[in-house]
């Protein structure tokens, strides 16, 4: 299993396991890896609240409107916080910086909040994101950019421009996979 390969390289405390099903979550928890559970097919706010309530302690969520009509927003976070079942963090996609600020206002400073877009790292962090998910850096190009927002943003922007010119998600995925293999 892929999780076991990662555990050979790094401790479980440094990993997150993306979970699309209950079985995925069981596999992650069995290995001591924190799950990041995809919000999927939630029909209304009550279903979303029930979903959040069902998560194990230490879980994160991944919210993307392509996977659920109901996404993680400030009100859902406020409701979950008040009811005592706010997850420890979230990766949120297709949100504005204003949305990030509103979620941060409801979750507080200890909630880990990742913006799924790295198009404007400085603005995401200024809005309250703990960090960004920089998909353009996933191939771990060599040399990796030096620490600092401007250095990382420059590399992200160059790769993102290449990705934006591609016609489909499949083409973008293939491009990133090719870059990753080339970096080995």
- pLDDT given at position 141: 67
Do 86 and 111 touch, CB atoms closer than 8 A? yes
Does residue 114 lie in a domain region?
A: yes
What's the burial of 150, exposed, middle or buried (CB within 10 Å: 0-12/13-18/19+)?
exposed
How many other C-beta atoms are found inside a 10 Å radius of the C-beta of residue 57?
8
Taking the CA atoms of 109, 79, 91 and 58 in sequence, report the sign of the dihedral they define.
positive
The reply to whether 86 and 97 lie within a common domain is: yes
The reply to whether 123 and 174 lie within a common domain is: no
pLDDT tens for residues 57-105? 999 999 999 999 999 999 999 999 999 999 999 999 999 999 999 999 9
The reply to whether 102 and 46 lie within a common domain is: yes
Chain position carrying tokens 């200890």: 110
**Between 144 and 12, whose confidence is greater?**
12
pLDDT tens for residues 113-158? 999 999 999 999 999 999 999 888 877 666 778 889 999 999 899 8
The reply to whether 115 and 50 lie within a common domain is: yes
How many other C-beta atoms are found inside a 10 Å radius of the C-beta of residue 175?
16
**Between 146 and 44, whose confidence is greater?**
44
State mean pLDDT over 19-41.
Answer: 96
Domain that holds residue 157: 135-184
Distance between CA atoms of 112 and 138, rounded to whole angstroms? Answer: 20
CATH code, domain carrying 115: 3.20.20
The reply to whether 90 and 104 lie within a common domain is: yes
The reply to whether 111 and 181 lie within a common domain is: no
Domain total of the chain: 2
Pick from 5, 32, 30: nearest CA to 16: 32
The reply to whether 99 and 159 lie within a common domain is: no
Distance between CA atoms of 41 and 56, rounded to whole angstroms? Answer: 19
- pLDDT given at position 128: 98
User: Which of the four pLDDT bands, split at 50, 70 and 90, describes residue 23?
Assistant: very high
């Amino acid at each position: 299993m892929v999780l076991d390969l990662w555990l050979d390289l790094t401790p479980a405390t440094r990993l997150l396991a993306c979970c699309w099903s209950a079985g995925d979550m069981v596999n992650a928890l069995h290995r001591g890896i924190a799950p990041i559970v995809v919000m999927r097919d939630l029909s209304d706010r009550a279903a979303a609240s029930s979903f959040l309530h069902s998560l194990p302690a230490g879980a994160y969520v991944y919210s993307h409107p392509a996977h659920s009509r109901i996404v993680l927003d400030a009100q859902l976070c406020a409701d979950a916080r008040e009811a005592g079942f706010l997850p420890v963090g979230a990766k949120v996609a297709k949100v504005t910086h204003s949305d990030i600020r509103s979620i941060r206002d409801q979750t507080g400073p200890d909630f880990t909040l990742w913006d799924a877009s790295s198009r404007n790292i400085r603005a995401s962090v200024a809005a309250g994101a703990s960090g960004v998910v920089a998909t353009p850096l996933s191939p771990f190009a060599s040399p990796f950019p030096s620490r600092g927002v401007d250095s990382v943003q420059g590399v992200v922007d160059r790769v993102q421009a290449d990705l934006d010119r591609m016609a489909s998600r499949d083409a973008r995925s293939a491009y990133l996979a090719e870059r990753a293999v080339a970096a080995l």
